[in-house]
Structure 1
Amino acid sequence: MLHPFPGGALALDFPGTLRFRHRSEPREDLSAPQRLGEWFQQAGITQDEIPLGPADLDAALRLREAVYRLVLARMADEPYDTDALALVNEYARKPTPVPQLTAEGRQMEATAEQAFAAVAQDTVTVLSGSDASLFKECSNPECSQIFLDRSQGGRREWCAMDPCGNKVKAAAYRARKRAAGRKALAGRTR
């Protein structure tokens, strides 16, 4: 499975693994330890598979939701949830993956704890830095992805054009076509 990374930071992409949070049934991208391992590899935290089990997945989901609560609080300029803050800081104190030079080039290996630490440390960096003022939630009403809007003028609306921007633009086009059709039909019946 290829995971999307539209947020611009691990601290935003990791919570984005629970997609469509606004729906009655969100989609879980981290449905198994293997999916979590794939996410860590695709995020560049490690190059090799990390041996992960159900307990690691449970820990990752707790961390993910803690990060999400902190991001939402920062966006709303509200106090941080103390439990979420404690969990993120607990992981942020741990060592992160260390790059190694091999004959083949750069190598990144990580344990589950190191991978969690990488996410937690990125969360601390992003939430305490100037980029936090650039947080936006995708304008697609079904999407819940939060992203960094680094566009000129801060006018980016979607986490990504494909699929969110395309869906919203296509829906707007269809609505305009229907309205034009109704207007033309009303003009003929007069």
Structure 2
Amino acid sequence: MTFLFASGNLALDLVGTLNERRTTRVEHLHDGADVARWLVEAGVLDTAPTAGPDALTEALALREALFAVVEALLDQPGAPLPGAALDVVNAAADQPLPVATLRPDRSVARSGGWRAGLAAVARDGLALAEPGDAVLKWCADPACTHPFLDRSRGHRRRWCEMAGCGDRAKAAAYRARRRATA
């Protein structure tokens, strides 16, 4: 199983580890090893840390808190953000970050434990309140619950990723046009 990294933000990518949240709920984090693998695939850490049940519990709590914050940002503009979710995100962001080390070949090594990795994700989540030139959006696929940052010119991006939700939507539109002309 591979993870989806199409949102433009680590926190949003973590939120995306639970697909189809409002329907079939497809979970991608089943244990601490999945959390460690996600942190490596996301580029937060270079090597998978040792991660047990606590890592899964804290990652899922952070994911759900980030989802609550994103939901409030998108669906309740101007309203206060949910306090309990902010407590979880802020506590995770308060942890030490992964250690970055410059190598002789000019690459950067990132090391640390799973809590450091989650701290980096939480800090990316803090940036969502002020996304700058990007627009925070929900995927236009009704079954998908992936939020993403739209950095496209004109902010016309509609899907979390073209290879999945976008392709399905375009194929469905094509089939509907074909049926209408037949």
TM over 0.5: yes
State the AA in 2 paired with 1:20.
Answer: E
Please state whether the residue corresponding to 2:8 is helix, strand or coil: coil
Deviation at 1:7, TM superposition (A): 0.6
Q: Which residue of 2 aligns with 1:176?
A: 177
Distance 1:178 1:31 in 2: 42
Superposed counterparts of 1:37-116, under 5 Å: 37-76=36-75, 77=77, 78-102=79-103, 105-116=107-118
C-alpha deviation, 1:56, in angstroms: 1.1
Which residue matches 1:155? 156
Unaligned runs of 5+ in 1: 182-190
In the TM superposition, what whole-angstrom CA distance separates every residue of 1:138-157 from its partner, at most 9, and x where no partner exists? 11121111111111111111
Structure 2, unpaired ranges of 5+:
none
1-structure distance, mates of 2:123, 2:9: 11
> By how many angstroms is 1:160 displaced?
1.0
Name the amino acid aligned to 1:50: P
The alpha carbon displacement at 1:109 in A equals: 1.1
Cα displacement string for residues 68-122 of structure 1 (whole angstroms, at most 9, x for unaligned residues): 1001111121321111001111111111001123456532112121011111111
Which protein shows a greater Rg? Answer: 1
> Structure 2 length as normaliser, TM-score?
0.92
Partner of 2:11: 11
How far apart, CA to CA, are the structure 2 residues paired with 1:129 and 1:154? 13
- Map 1:19-38 onto structure 2 (within 5 A): 19-23=19-23, 25-38=24-37
For 1:145, the equivalent position in structure 2 comes to 146
1:107 aligns to what SS in structure 2? strand
Q: Which residue is equivalent to 1:127? A: 129
Q: Residues 97 and 114 of structure 1 are in contact (CA less than 8 Å); yes or no, is this contact kept in structure 2?
A: yes
Equivalents in 2 of 1:8, 1:106: separation in Å?
20
Looking at structure 2, the residues matched to 152 and 103 of structure 1 have their Cα atoms a distance apart, in angstroms, of: 37
In structure 2, C-alpha distance between the alignment counterparts of 1:169 and 1:125, rounded to whole Å:
32
Computed over aligned residues only, the root mean square deviation of the Cα atoms, in angstroms, reads 1.5
**Secondary structure in 2 aligned to 1:152?**
coil
- Equivalent residue letter for 2:176: A
* Identity rate, percent: 39
Give the paired residue count. Answer: 179
User: Which residue is 1:186 aligned to?
Assistant: none
The answer (yes or no) to whether the contact 1:45–1:115 under 8 Å persists in 2 is yes
Query: In 1, Cα distance between the equivalents of 2:101 and 2:90?
Result: 26
User: Greater share of helix residues, 1 or 2?
Assistant: 1
